[in-house]
A and B are shown apart, each in its own frame.
Chain A
Amino acid sequence: EPEVTQTPSHQVTQMGQEVILRCVPISNHLYFYWYRQILGQKVEFLVSFYNNEISEKSEIFDDQFSVERPDGSNFTLKIRSTKLEDSAMYFCASSVGRWDGYTFGSGTRLTVV
């Protein structure tokens, strides 16, 4: 069964450093998403991406965040200057169409120290 692949599985970074989280969505999917989950809290929407541009973003997704699909297969989330409160599990997801079910990756655990 096709999977969404995320790397790395765990990243530790110092406060103020830039991090890039990587995702390889399912190849025939057209819609891409990033979500995050702080330990013990709800899964929160960050951003959706379609046709090479952001289609929707949440209040969490401020100027410190950016997304890119650099080469037609990878989908990345960059956090420019990490804060302690950015520590969370980050999930990438993709879907074929706008109203189809999302396939989520297994996540990257980001720890900011």
Chain B
Amino acid sequence: DAKTTQPTSMDCAEGRAANLPCNHSTISGNEYVYWYRQIHSQGPQYIIHGLKNNETNEMASLIITEDRKSSTLILPHATLRDTAVYYCIVGMNRDDKIIFGKGTRLHILP
């Protein structure tokens, strides 16, 4: 199973930054941190991934602590369409798969 710990659910006001934490204290040196989300009944959607450095793309920012034991996904200006389950996944470099956990159910409140 996924080696990550995430809160079960979170709320965020529309227009505010949503900060989703993830603990991955047993991550090993060559494992990436991936973030996906699943909007109700749709296929999972890739958001971002990183190894050591912080990353930013058009969807989000990923902040990885220096010891790599935790990370935070930041959605800078959350909208109602960002309501979804967000999955933090540690990618095992020897395996050709990613494993989904239960994720964090993010509710964006109007």
Cα(A56)–Cα(B98), bound, Å: 11
The proximity string for B residues 70-95 relative to A, scoring 1 for CB distances below 8 Å and 0 otherwise, is 00000000000000000100010101
Which residues of B have CB within 8 Å of A45?
97-100
Q: Which B residues touch A44, using CB under 8 A?
A: 100
| Dominant SS among interface residues on chain B | loop
Contact of A107 with B43 in the complex, beta carbons under 8 Å = yes
The stretch of A12-20, A63-71, A76-84, A96-104 in contact with B is A96-104
For A, the interface residue count at a CB cutoff of 8 angstroms equals 25
- In the complex, which of the residues A4, A56, A91, A105 contacts B97, with contact meaning CB atoms closer than 8 Å? A56
Task: Given A101-B49, A104-B44, A105-B43, answer yes or no on A42-B97 (Cβ-Cβ < 8 Å).
Answer: no
**Chain A interfacial positions (CB closer than 8 Å to B):** 4, 31, 33, 35, 42-45, 48, 50, 55-56, 58, 89, 91, 93, 98-99, 101-107
Since A44-B100, A45-B99 are in contact, a sample of 8 more A-B pairs with Cβ atoms closer than 8 Å, ordered by chain A residue number, is: A45-B98, A50-B96, A56-B95, A56-B97, A89-B41, A93-B43, A101-B36, A107-B43
